[in-house]
Structure 1
Amino acid sequence: MFQKFQKHINQKLPFLQESKLLITISGGLDSVVLTHVCHQLNLNFSLAHCNFHLRGIESDGDQDFVEQLAADLQVEVFIQHFDTNTFAETHKVSTQMAARELRYNWFQELSEQLQFDYILTAHHADDNLETFLINLTRGTGLDGLTGIPEVNENVVRPLLKFTREQIESFAKSNNLKWREDSSNASTKYLRNKLRHDVIPVLKEMNAELLQNFETTQNNLQDAKSIIEDAITSVQKKVVSVEGEIIKFNIKKLQKLSNTKAYLFELLKEFNFTAWNDVYNLLEAQSGKQVFSSTHRLLKDREYLLLTEVDSNVSSSAVETLFIEENTKKLKTDLGVLFFEEADAVFGKHTNVSFVDKDLLKFPLTVRKWEKGDYFYPLGMQGKKKLSKFFKDEKYSLIEKEKTFVLCSGEDVVWVINKRGDNRYKVTEKTKNILKITLQ
C-alpha cells in the first residue's frame, strides 16, 4: 500500500509535499495509518486530537495514545477538550453533529492561527460508500451521490482511494497499534448499521463492489461537470446582480425545460430547504418571501430577489435618530450623514442634499419611511405619497425596506439617497445653505 500511496501523492496530490499539514487523529486505525505513511514520506505535519468526553476513560485513553504516538514520531500535537453533550443540547443537534461541528471549527481555527496549508483527514473508500448510501436512503441530489471530495478547499483526504481492508493490511504488516472505538460496534447509528449489516452483504454479492462504486462515482462526477456547464450558461441569462441584491428573471426561468431543477441548482448554496415554497414564489403575489437560515428570497414583480439575512441589524433600524443644530455627523443604517454649511449649490448627486437651513426646525429626525408619508418631490409639481413615488420610480420591495427619511417636524425634507423636497430647496432668497451628504 505504501508504494501506491506514495505514487498517488506524487501524481494526484503533489502540493502536499511542500506544505505545512495538520493531520486530524482520533487514535483509530485509519488516522494512525495516515500518520505513519505521511511520516514515512517525510511530510511536514502536526497532529490534532479532539477529546469529546463521550466515552469516559476510553476517551482519555485515546488522548494518551495520541500523545504517545506524537512523542514516538517526534511531531507536534494539539489537544482540545469539548463538552459535547452540552453543546448538542444548547444548539439542539445530535451528539454526532455536535462533535462534527466542534472538531471542524477547531481544525479551521488551528489552521488559520498557525498557518497550516492543509487539513488532512483519514476518510477512505469504505467511508465514501457509506456516505453515498446514507445520502441515498435519506433522499438527495447529485451532490449527495458524488460522495466525499478528495480535496475540498483546504481539507484533503489522501486515503480516499484506499479500502479499509488495504489500510488494515498495511497496519498489521507494519505492526502498528491503534485504538478501537467501542461505539463503532453499535448499530443504533445508521452509518454503523450500513457498515456492519448492509455493506458486507453487498460485498458478498459483488467482490468488486468498491472498484465498481469508484467507476460509478467517476461517471457521476462527469455528469455533474456537464450540469455545472449548463447552469453557468443559464445563470448568465437569468441572473443579474445589483449591489447586494441577486435578481432572478422569472419569465426567463419559466421558459427553461425544467424550471424547478434549474432553480434548485441556482439556489442550493444559499441553504434553502422548503423547495416547494421556493418554486411557488414564481406564481406568487409580489411581497411573498421564503427564508433560509442565511438568506431571503422575495417575489417582486418580474423578479425573485435574493438577499442575505443580517442577523446583526442594529436597533437604529427601527429607532428615530435626532439631529441637533450643531451636529456634524450621524451614523445610520444607510451610512454616515455629514452636515456642513455651503456657499452655493453645486453638482447633482442622490447622496447629497442642499436645503435652506432657516426653514428647518431642530432637532431634525431620521427614521424609516412609514405608510402615509408624503413629500413635495424636488423638480415636480405638488405633493406625492412616498408609496406612489416608489411605484412610479419602480423601486423594489427591498429598496423600499431600506428607505429612510430626514424630517423637520412632520415634514419630509429628504428621502435619503433618493429625492429632496421642493419646500426646502435652496432659492435666490436663501441665506444659509445646509449641505447634507451620505457616505
Structure 2
Amino acid sequence: MMDNTNHNMVHTFERKIEDAISRRDLLCRDGFYVVALSGGPDSVALLRVLVSLGYTVHAAHCNFHLRGEESNRDEKFCEALCKKMGIELHRIHFDTAGYAKLHQVSIEMAARTLRYSYFDQLCKDIAARGICVAHHSDDQVETILLNLVRGTGLRGLQGMRWRNGNILRPLLGVTRNDVMQYLEAVGQDYVTDHTNLEDEVQRNKLRLNIIPQLEKINPAVKENVLRMAEHLGEADAIIHQALHDQAEKVCNPTTTEGVSLNIDLRLLHQQPSPEHLLWHLLSPYGFRRTQVGEIVDNQTNGNMWLANKWVAFIDREHLLVINKDEWGIATPAMHIPECGTYVLRQGNHERRFSFQQTEGPMEPSRHPHTVTLDADNVAFPLTLRPVEAGDRFVPFGMKHSKLVSDFLTDQKVSVIERRQQLVLVDAAGAIVWVVGRRVDDRVALNKNTTQRVLTIKWM
C-alpha cells in the first residue's frame, strides 16, 4: 500500500501533467492516442500517468535491432507491461543499420526517420489522434544546447514544441528526477538502455559531461535555459507577426502560371532586415541560408538558385520561385502540314490552334486570340516551336528585323514567359508570328491583300 509521502508525490506529478495538458489543449477524452513505448523510464512513466489520468491509449514499440539481446529484452518488457495494464501494443522491427547504410545517414538519424515514419503511418491506420512521446524538460535543455552548439536561429533556441503536428509531448514540464521519483512511488520497474550511460553520442556528452560542469557555475542553469527559451518564444511570436506584415508588402500576386512566389527585391531592401525576411519567405521551399545571402548580395538578372523541388531566379528586380517540374517542361516543336486544328501539349497543359484559309479581302483581327495573315506570303508546312537563340523577325509596323529576344525584352516579358514563348515558322524558315504578341510585318494584312487570308485562332 502506498504511504502518504508517495501518495502526495504521485498526486503532485499527475496534477502537473494534467494541468499542462489542459493549458495547451494537448489531449481530449473522446479519442485515443498512441504512446511511444521504449521500455525506458520516461516512456513507461508517460504510459502510466496517461492511463491513471483516464486517457485512452495504445502503445507502440520499435525494435531497431541495434543492441543484440538487449533490444529483444526491451520488446519483451513492453509486451509484458502492456499485457498487465490491458493496453494494446503495436510492434515493428527495423533493419536500422541496413537503412543507415543504404541512405548514407547516421544510425541515430536512421532510427529517428524510421520511428517517426512508422508513428505517422500507425496514426493513420488506426485513426489515433496523435503520438505521445516522453520528452521531458531535461531533454528540452539538451536539445536547446545542442541547437546552440550546431548553430541555429530563434526557433531552434526554443527547443521542442509541446505539439508538433501529430507528435505530442505531455512531459515537457517535468524533470528527469520527477519521472524517476514517480516511478519509484508507484513501484513501477523499467529497462535501462546501457548506451545512455556511455560518453559517445553528442546528447550523452552534454548530459554526462557538459551540463554537470555548467551546474557548477550556476546550479540553476537548466531552469535558466528553459526560461530563456520561453522568453525567446514570446519574442519570436512578435518577430513572426512583423515578418508576416513585411512579407505582404514585398510579395506580389503570382499571376504568371507556375510561379509560386514573386518578391519585389526593391521593396525587400527597404525592410529592416532584408536577409532575415527573405529567409522567412524561402526556407519553406528548402533554400539554404547561404543561398539567401547570395540572393541578397547578387541580384543580376537571370541568376538562378536551386532547391530540392524549386527554382529561384532574378527577373528584372523580382525574385521568382517556380516548381522544378514546371521550370523543366520542354515544349516540342509541332509540324503543321495544312489547315486544320492542332493540339500542342506543354507538360500538363494543352493549347489548341486552329488554322483556316478564306478568301479576302478581310480586316486585320483585333481579337486577342485570333490573328489574320496574308496567306499568299505564308508557305506551308508551318512549324510551331519555342523561341531559339538568334531568332529574328520584322515586327508589324517596322521596316527592319529585330531579334525576338530583344522584342520580348522591350515587351517586359518575364523569364518564365520567355521559356514558354512560341513562334510560328513557315516552310522557308521565316518567323511569321511571335505567338500571342506580334505578327511579322511581311505577312500582315494590308491594302494589297485581296485574295487569301490565313486565320489562326488559339486558346
TM-score by length of 2: 0.81
Structure 1 residue 147: deviation in Å?
Answer: 0.9
Say whether residues 1:201 and 2:179 are aligned partners: no
Give the match for residue 276 of structure 2. 261
Query: How many corresponding residue pairs?
Result: 433
Give the match for residue 227 of structure 1. 239
Question: Against the structure 1 CA distance between its residues 280 and 432, is the aligned structure 2 distance closer, same or farther, given a 3 Å change threshold?
Answer: closer
Structure 1 residue 97: deviation in Å?
Answer: 1.5
Give the match for residue 4 of structure 2. none
Which residue of 95, 106, 117 corresponds with 2:107?
Answer: 95
Q: Distance in 2 between matches of 1:392 and 1:187?
A: 66
Q: Distance in 2 between matches of 1:304 and 1:281?
A: 10
Q: Distance in 2 between matches of 1:330 and 1:189?
A: 57
Contact 2:341 2:355 in 1 (8 A): no
How do 1:5-20 residues align onto structure 2 when only pairs under 5 Å count? 5-13=17-25, 15-20=27-32
Contact 2:372 2:453 in 1 (8 A): no
How do 1:13-412 residues align onto structure 2 when only pairs under 5 Å count? 13=25, 15-243=27-255, 244-275=259-290, 278-279=293-294, 281-310=296-325, 317=330, 319-320=332-333, 329-333=343-347, 335-339=349-353, 348-349=367-368, 361-362=380-381, 365=383, 367-375=385-393, 383-405=401-423, 407-409=425-427, 410-412=429-431
Structure 1 residue 148: deviation in Å?
Answer: 0.7
Q: Distance in 2 between matches of 1:11 and 1:150?
A: 11
Q: Distance in 2 between matches of 1:324 and 1:155?
A: 61
Query: Where does structure 1 lack aligned partners over 5 or more consecutive residues?
Result: none
Q: Secondary structure at the match of 1:16?
A: coil
Give the match for residue 8 of structure 2. none
Q: Secondary structure at the match of 1:75?
A: coil
Contact 2:373 2:453 in 1 (8 A): no
Contact 2:387 2:421 in 1 (8 A): yes
Structure 1 residue 76: deviation in Å?
Answer: 3.1
Contact 1:62 1:179 in 2 (8 A): yes
Question: Against the structure 1 CA distance between its residues 217 and 421, is the aligned structure 2 distance closer, same or farther, given a 3 Å change threshold?
Answer: same
Amino acid at match of 2:71: S
Q: Distance in 1 between matches of 2:146 and 2:276?
A: 22
Structure 1 residue 171: deviation in Å?
Answer: 1.6
Q: Distance in 2 between matches of 1:418 and 1:51?
A: 64
Structure 1 residue 162: deviation in Å?
Answer: 1.1
Per-residue CA deviation, residues 108-148 of structure 1 (Å, 9 max, x unaligned), is: 23333443322222111111111111111112211111111
Q: Distance in 1 between matches of 2:23 and 2:129?
A: 19
Contact 2:311 2:327 in 1 (8 A): no
Per-residue CA deviation, residues 285-318 of structure 1 (Å, 9 max, x unaligned), is: 21222223343332223222233333x977x626
Structure 1 residue 435: deviation in Å?
Answer: 3.7
Q: Distance in 1 between matches of 2:384 and 2:122?
A: 45
Structure 1 residue 217: deviation in Å?
Answer: 1.4
Question: Against the structure 1 CA distance between its residues 324 and 120, is the aligned structure 2 distance closer, same or farther, given a 3 Å change threshold?
Answer: farther
Question: Against the structure 1 CA distance between its residues 417 and 131, is the aligned structure 2 distance closer, same or farther, given a 3 Å change threshold?
Answer: farther
Give the match for residue 15 of structure 2. 3
Q: Distance in 2 between matches of 1:82 and 1:354?
A: 67
Question: Against the structure 1 CA distance between its residues 238 and 339, is the aligned structure 2 distance closer, same or farther, given a 3 Å change threshold?
Answer: closer
Structure 1 residue 433: deviation in Å?
Answer: 5.0
Q: Distance in 2 between matches of 1:115 and 1:347?
A: 59
Per-residue CA deviation, residues 11-49 of structure 1 (Å, 9 max, x unaligned), is: 322543333323222222212221222222232332233
Larger Rg: 2
Structure 1 residue 322: deviation in Å?
Answer: 5.2
Which of 9-18 and 334-343 deviates more?
A: 334-343
Amino acid at match of 1:122: A
Q: Distance in 2 between matches of 1:431 and 1:16?
A: 73
Amino acid at match of 2:413: Y
Amino acid at match of 1:436: W
Per-residue CA deviation, residues 186-229 of structure 1 (Å, 9 max, x unaligned), is: 22211110011112233344443333332211111111112112
Query: Where does structure 2 lack aligned partners over 5 or more consecutive residues?
Result: 1-12, 359-363
Question: Against the structure 1 CA distance between its residues 87 and 431, is the aligned structure 2 distance closer, same or farther, given a 3 Å change threshold?
Answer: same
Q: Secondary structure at the match of 1:242?
A: coil
Q: Secondary structure at the match of 1:240?
A: coil
TM-score by length of 1: 0.84
Amino acid at match of 1:214: L
Q: Secondary structure at the match of 1:248?
A: strand
Q: Secondary structure at the match of 2:21?
A: helix
Q: Distance in 2 between matches of 1:320 and 1:157?
A: 57
Amino acid at match of 2:350: V
